[in-house]
Structure 1
Amino acid sequence: MGCLGNSKTEDQRNEEKAQREANKKIEKQLQKDKQIYRATHRLLLLGAGESGKSTIVKQMRILHVNGFNAEEKKQKIQDIKNNIKEAIETIVAAMSTLAPPVQVACPENQRRIEYITNLPNQKNFEFTSEFYEHAKKLWQDDGVKACYERSNEYQLIDCAQYFLDKIEIVQQSDYTPSDQDLLRCRVLTSGIFETRFQVDKVNFHMFDVGGQRDERRKWIQCFNDVTAIIFVVASSSYNMVIREDNLTNRLQEALNLFKNIWNNRWLRTISVILFLNKQDLLAEKVLAGKSKIEEYFPEFARYTTPDDATPEPGEDLRVTRAKYFIRDEFL
């Protein structure tokens, strides 16, 4: 009775061997990728609109990802110019809608207001020397400055003063944004943006998600395998209202949002880090004394600074009290 020999050819055996080796390499790479994945900290930035989440991402990029290259800086120039246009348009428009309204200090500037009011609302607006001249003169007007001082009564971007003070620099043909300009530049975040960086050989993936109410439905897409949520609060927003309804206090909106996240049973295994942002702006408001916290949060009148509070070097104790009050509202 004859024996059946090995029917596989030499080529087939070599092919199977190569396949086994390829599978081993794939398995090894998968294990390696899994280890890297487990060693990567995924940070999700959440918070109400205009709390400064995108600024934190930009700071991480400047500090840990070689910053922004020349081409990226060039692309940001248009956004910065748009910030100037939006700022002066918003202030000028508010002058007649505030109660009581605000008048220009110099009658000659009324024609400049008319010029700004009639600017076209187009994406690629041409920034002429005429525009800069009118914007510059208006920003120097005491009436316009008085309207700016009441910016908590209407919606104005945080970087308004910063860039209006820099009109002379920004309008130069050879202008290149500084890192501070890039940090201050305001662009509405819509969607989900990921930034990867490394600190002391530890990998981080940071996800920035829009904070406006209509953007929050996208948050659920980001919760999977998140190491920690960094909840960002604009400390200076105690006297402002949200853009969405021009009614709800911004700090109260942040408090409600934080409590919803904290009490969400699906997020109980995720660490939550509270990041109190814009404390420099908070200090300015407290020291100016025009918008008192107790007018918006009556409980502040009875608040006592904790015994273990640690003021910053040279910090006014009124600012320290305000900072700790806002912290304790969340905690």
Structure 2
Amino acid sequence: MGNKNNKKKKKRQQEKKKNKNINKQLVDEKKNEKNEFKMLLLGTGDSGKSTFVKQMQILYKGGFNTKIVDLYRNIIRINLKQHMKILLKASADLKIQLPKESVIIQNKFLDLIKNSPVMWNDKIIEMIKQLWEQPQIKECYKSRHHFQLPDSSAYFFDKIDEIAKEDYQPTRDDILNCRIPTTGVKELSFNVKNYIWNLVDVGGQRSERRKWIHHFEDVDILIFVIALDSYSQKLFEEHSVNRMTECLSVFEQTVNNEFFKKKRLVILLNKIDLFKEKLKKVKIKEAFPDYEGENDFEHTSEYFKNKFLDIVNQKKRSVSTHLTCGTDTVMIEKIFDDIRVSIMEKFISSYI
């Protein structure tokens, strides 16, 4: 009798081991069958999508080659001229009076960049420096929620002596802070743990959004980036429209699209550093009268997170939210690692 029971037990163990091996083989086959994942990166203009792509380039592609670094050096210098021009116009619009000597410099600067084909020279550098040193221009910069100006402008104005050097090479932080609106489609592929991740970034300006639908097929993960600090800003394309309101509308149209209702959704509530600073100057209630909570980071970020989550129709779909600072490489690495691991766990478990 004992021998008979032992034989049955041994047989069950053998069958269990066999089934386990079969399951492992099936999982391995499926893993080998699909070793690439497509991530579609969407968001309205100036949300920080391009910075996320740059971070992936730094973390998984070894950074930037000489050609790209040279390109950014030229863009940073062009941006400095353009951003000072924006500040000068805004100071006039906001009735911020410059000292007489600064008005003379302002007029020379505007005349020079308008009529001279020279992109960058000692005269331009010196005039930008002198203008940036004026308290009135700094005051204007602090009121930038009233007009369109990248928040990283001060970062570069403060570095103008370094940027002016002939042998200037943009650092990693310089490139991360440099603003270039995405036009068309940018694709980046990189390998992590023997899996290929294809990241597709499509421009977020209104004129670019019509191109989004062409990239909806075969998406494994939809990443939607939201600039939290945009709650008090107006659209570049239409100054009567609030940026956050526009973002909510675009988000609703996108995430509830038929293509995505079974896809994993990742929401990046971005620019938390700038959001915290803006909260000190502009109350949420000024732009969103329905807000009743405290004007602190914890309550306001939760308010916006819930506004976006409430839009998602398929309540059972896989959705994760993250508070992010796009220029913080360590933070972005951790967040992407969390996203990657959760995707892999779900993918593997679906075949067990």
Partner of 2:197: 204
Q: 1:48 aligns with which of 35, 44, 50?
A: 44
**Matched ranges for 1:39-188 at <5 A:** 39-98=35-94, 101-104=95-98, 106-120=99-113, 125-188=118-181
Unmatched tracts of structure 2, length 5 or more = 1-29, 310-352
Partner residue of 1:321 out of 299, 312, 316: 299
Which stretch has the larger CA shift, 167-176 or 124-133?
A: 124-133
Query: How many residues are treated as equivalent by the alignment?
Result: 280
The code of the aligned residue for 2:289 comes to P
- Quickly say closer, same or farther: Cα 1:37–1:173, change in 2 above 3 A: farther
Matches of 1:187 and 1:95 in 2, distance apart? 24
Show the counterpart of 1:225. 218
Please point out which of 303, 315, 321 is paired with 2:293: 303
CA distance in 2, matches of 1:122, 1:108: 21
Secondary structure of the structure 2 residue equivalent to 1:298: coil
Cα distance between partner residues in 1 of 2:214 and 2:36: 18
Instruction: Report the CA distance between 1:322 and its aligned residue.
Output: 2.1
Judge conservation of contact 1:229–1:272 (CA < 8 Å) in 2.
yes
Runs of 4+ in 1 over 3 A off after TM superposition: 34-37, 119-125
5+ residue gaps, structure 1: 1-33, 305-316
Offset, 1:107: 2.4
Quote how far apart the aligned CAs of 1:127 are: 0.7
> TM-score, normalization: structure 2?
0.76
Q: CA RMSD in A?
A: 2.0
Any conservation in 1 of the 2:222–2:260 contact (CA below 8 Å)?
no
Q: 1:291 aligns with which of 282, 289, 292?
A: 282
Identity across aligned pairs (percent)?
35
Q: Which of 231, 236, 239 is matched with 2:229 structurally?
A: 236
Q: How many angstroms apart in 1 are the aligned matches of 2:96 and 2:159?
A: 24
Distance in 1 (alpha carbons) for counterparts of 2:229 and 2:117 = 32
Q: Is the 8 A contact 2:216 2:259 kept in 1?
A: no
8 Å CA contact retained: 1:93, 1:117: no
Counterpart code for 2:97: Q
- Over 3 Å counting, the alpha-carbon distance change for 1:81 and 1:228 in structure 2 is same
Q: Which amino acid aligns with 1:322?
A: T
Preserved CA contact (<8 Å) 1:42 1:206: yes
Structure 2 counterpart SS, 1:49: coil
> Which residue of structure 2 aligns with residue 271 of structure 1?
264
Contact 2:87/2:137 (<8 A) preserved: yes
Q: Which moved more, 1:64-73 or 1:207-216?
A: 64-73
Q: What letter is aligned with 2:139? A: A
CA distance in 2, matches of 1:121, 1:193: 32
Displacement of 1:70 in angstroms is 2.4
Report the residue type matching 2:54 in the other structure. Answer: K
1:204: Cα distance to partner?
0.4
Q: What secondary structure does 2:229 align onto? A: helix
TM-score, length-scaled by structure 1: 0.80
